[in-house]
Chain A
């Protein structure tokens, strides 16, 4: 864990180094789901995580921390990053005709070697919030971390989908409009 400094000016205008936070870097061979990893880190270390900075496999993953983070937090941070098992949901389109024929191909990318199986939850969204309590499971078979399936619709409305048990994997909710 290293401290991050920013140069500021004192009252006399002289440059001074001010600590603005801390940082840990990890080199991973797969891209991270930045927001899911951030949520997992914030849950593990409440009040100590500023965010995550990432640039694909070509850049280290940076965990930005508050000054209150200490070396004692490193094991929890490392464990959370190492447990991160990202899942990216990639629908081919965000609309489908509600005629039972038109289809949307939904792709899944789980790039971590040995990624856990992926099951999506699909919820019909008649109101403001998707009805996750009656959501339908949709297992997507993976081959080398990639898989896809398709969906059709018979009724108009919105289908929302997310990764089941998505903590530290994916926190996104994708919506398909059925027209």
Chain B
């Protein structure tokens, strides 16, 4: 799936921009996970 996404981006964009957009998509993905946990008051701490 990840390869598919990067390949798709690389088809349409210069490789460095595709690589950066791929990283930004991960930033957004994990932000969504953080928000999901936050909205349910789930805080995992040591």
A-B complex is real: no
List residues of B whose CB falls within 8 A of some A CB: none
List residues of A whose CB falls within 8 A of some B CB: none
